[in-house]
Structure 1
């Protein structure tokens, strides 16, 4: 009877932690298909609306590496439960927002709460498995990491087409309440949580503050630099200096203080450096492409939000099937580097084939590219986490895992910001090139305008207005072509990023972890 109860509790804990982690990651991508709708409803540009995405990502990047410290200071269960409550309340406030910047603020708060839903969930989940089952646990958790950003646009598309965008956030409320109750009832405290001496734990205020300022300033530069003419604008120059000084001070401080919030000394391990760079690129490719694809097919190809979400289903499905096999293979001792090489190859194919799409590309074409991305991301997520801690001391593994999670989210934040800025820049370039090819004495241009004009005249429009409208139609067509080319350039940039970082694979140690080491990771993580 006791065994059955323990099995039941284990299942409840697994469902709770995976649901919480997926919910956190869904909220990073579910908003993508709603940006057009939100920008129109709240009277903002699409570029400004993208702050709804990046504010959440910034908060994640700041809080994730601090989860180890916060778990020790408050106790893992207390911190986890509080984070779920913060996330749930912030979700309600996001849905109730009446202005863009109110929404951006509460998205930031939501990201602060969401950081623990990703990081601490991993440690709690791993505690439920025996040492020889850690590979399977990693596969289950990795499936959540990959599925969350993928199914977000699918769910978001359905909601936008049928309900108000606020429901994107409101659906978190019942889930958050249930997760909080299950956490309070079934997740036990660790032994060292009962007698926490907070006075003995030093808070690294300088490290936390300098990290938050540096990351925030850098993200603003990436987001707004293009629209504000980069370094021609005074406050962009000031923020650039602030970002450089803050991040440089953060690195110096963390390397010299006795009680760092983030132990950067573990980066002396070249294997961890290589893994983190590759994880950054993985996050860049995953979140960048998940941001870029729905915006492209909606704005250029006329997809509805639901259709753009459904177009990403193939990637989600192959991920669901691939992750358990990858986790099992790692548990049996297959070297992570093999999956990393395969994942990079598939992601390069994803970016390249996506960049070859035409305005009339079929949904089958995009299904192929999404499959490349789905399997590729699955082959990178858990293997890179496993590879990151190879060669680390047991006491350093928690820091290694936290840094690896941070670099994934940081890559995602950069991916979204850079894709937005790069696509805007490339649109201006392509539009300028297309306009320069339009010559008044070009007989094909004249014939096209006359054809459109005659069609409008036949519908009852007077000749003068018809000719003006024909020029408007031509201008709209030209803008669509320029936008399409800009988004395709973004996909190609993703492939280039992956190609350029292939040499970092040489830093990886070509070995795997034994069951004992995986058990220690589970005990030390977060």
Structure 2
């Protein structure tokens, strides 16, 4: 505990460290979504195919997921301050190189390097913030950090849309540079490292473990990112990568359990609260990134909104999360059980999903979404901080950073699984709904014929030849069926995601150990 207390900061120094760490985490998360709205511009500017330009996202995600589990070990090898500062510098320099790329190959390479730097920012900034606060204020520290995690995915699309509309795509990378430079300078000046055990010489570094982790997690992330494009396991490459991911993970786990100096300490998962927390982080990532993915997709494909409008729709929800953070932090500090907060948060997220299921139509407007998304904000506010605090509340010393790395990785993988499963389900469910609707749309039905004839008559009255008008009316009817099938699929997704959270509630209440009023003391160890 003395080691941890020695890192507690006060006054302006703590404020500077907190702002630096939150901005670094925010930059990393924004960069996972800001690129989405710029892909078409990149494609035209660099002369790339759609498949090639999608690697700009995939390369970053793969690098992120590879480096996150190793952050604890890397911090011990190089010292937390040095590692964090180096990660900020790598992220900043690669941002400049991404903006200056003249070919798609260069951009993909620099995005991968940017992901390696960015992966460390998320978990390490989390640990730095928490250890800078005294035990009785660490729930509030969690709230400050989690706010950045929630805000990031929401800010990415509108910010990217604004930059694309008013400037050009390289500026989505250039905006990282001034913040990165300031963050690197402040890190070297203010952030302190805990006293680690002596770093391992190169001969004791688990190079095989690093290789196996890279192969396993990299293959899994590639499958999740590209599976839908390749039609999943009908592709030989997907089958090979699935086998590689499974064998790589199996061998990696075995290696970490038998090697004297593992890069990822798997034994920390013996802690019951951390095991539950890791699973809940996965579920939270699934719901957070899945809903952040599906709502803009719906508003852009069905309602015809642009990326900036779609992103701005999510702002009320984000503001509600910001409003909830200090309240939830105070509740935890006063001894309210985390498991009840998590259960209530999941119930509210189910209500949000159910309401969204009921309101989406081809004419749904922003005003219809307002209160529904506010409910989402309340649910996420009640989920995020308690999951973070509960996960690491019974860990101490070096276990804290190890547990934080597991939670961070599982949240990210949950998001990847969410987006992959939702996009796959959408493409297949739309076909099923369309088939059902068309089977009930009898062209010989007088009502259907009257509808087509009415549309055709309107077109003919405007000067269109009658045979062309009839064909256009049929195409319009066909398009209407496709839109209806798509909306039904979106409705299914919201319902299923909501049910997933509902099903988790009994498990939360049964399996999370009761955190007694020593919560205040245990918060001292909750560095997630």
TM-score greater than 0.5 by the shorter chain: yes
Separation in 2, partners of 1:399, 1:13:
21
The answer for the alignment partner of 1:368 in structure 2 is 371
TM-superposed deviation, 1:283: 0.7
Single out whichever of 60-69 and 505-514 deviates more from structure 2.
505-514
The answer for the alignment partner of 1:410 in structure 2 is 413
The answer for the alignment partner of 2:354 in structure 1 is 352
- Describe the superposition over 1:149-194 as per-residue Cα deviations: whole angstroms up to 9, x where unpaired: 222233233334444344322221222122222223x22443637x
TM-superposed deviation, 1:196: 5.7
The answer for the alignment partner of 1:458 in structure 2 is 461
Contact 1:95–1:167 under 8 Å retained in 2: yes
- Structure 1 gap ranges (5+): none
Of residues 433, 437, 445, the one that matches 1:434 is 437
Contact 2:396–2:525 under 8 Å retained in 1: no
State whether structure 2 residue 155 is matched by structure 1 residue 157. no
| 1:185-334 to 2 correspondences below 5 Å | 186-190=189-193, 192=195, 197-199=199-201, 202-334=204-336
Separation in 2, partners of 1:300, 1:321:
31
Q: Count residues with an aligned counterpart.
A: 517
Cα distance 1:395–1:276, how it changes in 2: closer, same or farther (>3 A)?
A: same
The answer for the alignment partner of 2:480 in structure 1 is 477
TM-superposed deviation, 1:391: 3.6
TM-superposed deviation, 1:382: 1.8
The answer for the alignment partner of 1:175 in structure 2 is 179
What SS does the corresponding residue of 2:408 show, helix, strand or coil? helix
Separation in 2, partners of 1:427, 1:47:
23
Separation in 2, partners of 1:495, 1:263:
34
The answer for the alignment partner of 2:424 in structure 1 is 421
Separation in 2, partners of 1:120, 1:389:
15
- Structure 2 gap ranges (5+): 1-8
Contact 2:329–2:385 under 8 Å retained in 1: yes
| TM-score for the superposition, normalised by structure 2 | 0.89
Single out whichever of 499-508 and 369-378 deviates more from structure 2.
499-508
| 1:35-114 to 2 correspondences below 5 Å | 51-97=55-101, 103-114=107-118
Contact 1:30–1:155 under 8 Å retained in 2: yes
Cα distance 1:337–1:39, how it changes in 2: closer, same or farther (>3 A)?
A: farther
Separation in 2, partners of 1:297, 1:39:
23
- Describe the superposition over 1:321-380 as per-residue Cα deviations: whole angstroms up to 9, x where unpaired: 110121222223222112111111111122222222222123222122222222212212
| TM-score for the superposition, normalised by structure 1 | 0.89
What SS does the corresponding residue of 1:113 show, helix, strand or coil? helix
State whether structure 2 residue 127 is matched by structure 1 residue 132. no
The answer for the alignment partner of 2:523 in structure 1 is 518
Separation in 2, partners of 1:476, 1:166:
36
What SS does the corresponding residue of 1:451 show, helix, strand or coil? helix
Contact 1:29–1:287 under 8 Å retained in 2: no
The answer for the alignment partner of 1:382 in structure 2 is 385
TM-superposed deviation, 1:298: 0.7
| 1:12-31 to 2 correspondences below 5 Å | 12-31=16-35
TM-superposed deviation, 1:232: 2.9
Cα RMSD of the aligned pairs, angstroms, is 2.8
